[in-house]
A and B are shown apart, each in its own frame.
Chain A
Amino acid sequence: MITVLGLFTLTFLVIAALATVQSRNLFVASMWFCIFSLMMAANFLILDAADVALTEAAVGAGVSTVLFMGALSLTAEHEHVRERSGWLPALVLGLLFAVLFAASFEQPRLGDPLAPVHQHVAPFYLSETPRLIDIPNVVTAILASFRGYDTLGEVLVVFTAGIGVLSVLSFSPKKNQQLSGEGVAERVRGVQHHAILRVAGKLIIPLLMLFALVVQFHGEYSPGGGFSAGALFAAAVMLYGILEGADRSAKAMPQDWMLRLAALGAMLYIGVGIVCMMLGGNFLDYSVLSSKPVAGQQLGILLVEFGVGLTVSTVLIMIFNAIANRSTY
């Protein structure tokens, strides 16, 4: 059964990727990309990666589709047919696939317990997590504690990208130029004219926010954590913006506050690390935060994950507000 499911999701992944690249209508392409991401998330679940599946479903299928649609409404609906033939890239890529295909025969079979990847650090993380950190979700333990430096770097990358989007979109368009994108002529506030979508959508928003909070604060015990929770919370705000108009979502979540909260999330992460140093430990060594090292680790992970969730959600909301409220005059 699981084999059939694996075969189905993987094969459909290729079909969705091909359809994405083939379709000339860019809205259709972004919907195909949404399906691609959903198939990817389903396949991650089959491969026992529940945390990643949750994040991919929220980010790939949810947030990225909204951002692509937002960008398309400001640019163009159709891709122009390109005259120049792509035979040279096609040849090179064909060779690349041949190399990857040949190299795959050197790979261990799927699920092989003797594969090199399962021999080195993974057994350490799996055996030491109950002793050192004592939380059930090993992914969260590695993310926030064992490899806390990496995660700090990723959070700063997300924060930087948010600032980048804001600064790129802070220029106002040339006054003499009219945007010619489709649907620009009249500014409709969200999908206000669709009663069913609005009523059904509004029922989802509070549940989605509640789910985001569960994923955030229960991430030590079940799949989840700051990254997926942040994406889910941002998705709830984006849904509100789509239903009621982006000007209202920007009013509910003002840009300057989002920026401050994003910085606060990153500062919380760094601050926990500095407090650890002041208490005599190493940077991001949470064991010194409490009299019992295990309790210190758990407290540190909770705080750091909150910082991650805060930064990710506010940066994504900020990006959505900036793109969706772009003046289209």
Chain B
Amino acid sequence: MSINSLGLYNYWIYGFVLVIGLYAVLVKGNYVKRMIGLSIFQGAAFLLYITMDKIEGGTGPIFVTPPQPGDLFANPLPQVLILTAIVVGIAVTALGLAITIRIKEEYGTIEESEIREVDRQA
């Protein structure tokens, strides 16, 4: 049995994880939870790209020996895109968390409903 027999399973998992992450972003009122949800959403996008790079019978795109005609290698382009996207993702998450910390300091809470309450009273 090879990896090929997974068929479309990767794409289904991608869709499901994407929806879970988006659910946390839309429904949860806690800002840290939303940032975690955004990271899960992002992870689903990474999975989609890396799923596309796999090639049956190939290896990672690193030439251990000089490549011969007919050798198969995984597609390096999605890997490059996702490699940089992961690091940009953590930078964005950190910025979101910093803003969340400031919200906590100003409002005393990071729950959206309670922040609305504070704003209404002000």
Residues of A within 8 A of B (CB): 1-3, 6-7, 10-11, 13-14, 17-18, 20-21, 26, 29-30, 33, 36-37, 40, 43-44, 46-52, 55-56, 59-60, 63-64, 67-68, 70-72, 74-76, 79-80, 82-84, 86, 89-90, 93-94, 96-97, 100-101, 104-105, 107, 109-113, 115, 117-118, 121-122, 125-126, 129-130, 136-139, 142-143, 147, 150-151, 154, 157-158, 161-162, 164-165, 168-169, 171, 173-174, 177, 179-181, 221-223, 225, 227-228, 230-231, 312, 315-316, 319, 322-323, 326
Closest partner residue, chain A, to B24 (CB atom) = A21
Give the CA-CA distance A36 to B21 in the complex, in Å: 12
A-B contact pairs, 15 of them (CB 8 A): A17-B21, A52-B46, A56-B46, A72-B32, A89-B26, A96-B22, A100-B14, A104-B11, A110-B4, A110-B6, A113-B57, A157-B91, A158-B87, A158-B88, A161-B94
Q: A17-B21, A83-B113, A230-B87 are in contact. List 16 more A-B contacts (CB 8 A).
A: A10-B9, A13-B17, A21-B24, A48-B54, A48-B61, A67-B93, A67-B94, A80-B30, A89-B23, A93-B22, A122-B77, A137-B61, A138-B61, A164-B98, A165-B98, A231-B90
Complex interface: chain B residues within 8 A of A150 (CB) = 80-81, 84
Q: Are B61 and A168 in contact (CB under 8 A)?
A: no
Number of A-B pairs, beta carbon distance below 8 Å: 339
Residues of chain B in range 75-104 having any CB-CB distance to chain A below 8 Å:
75-95, 97-102, 104
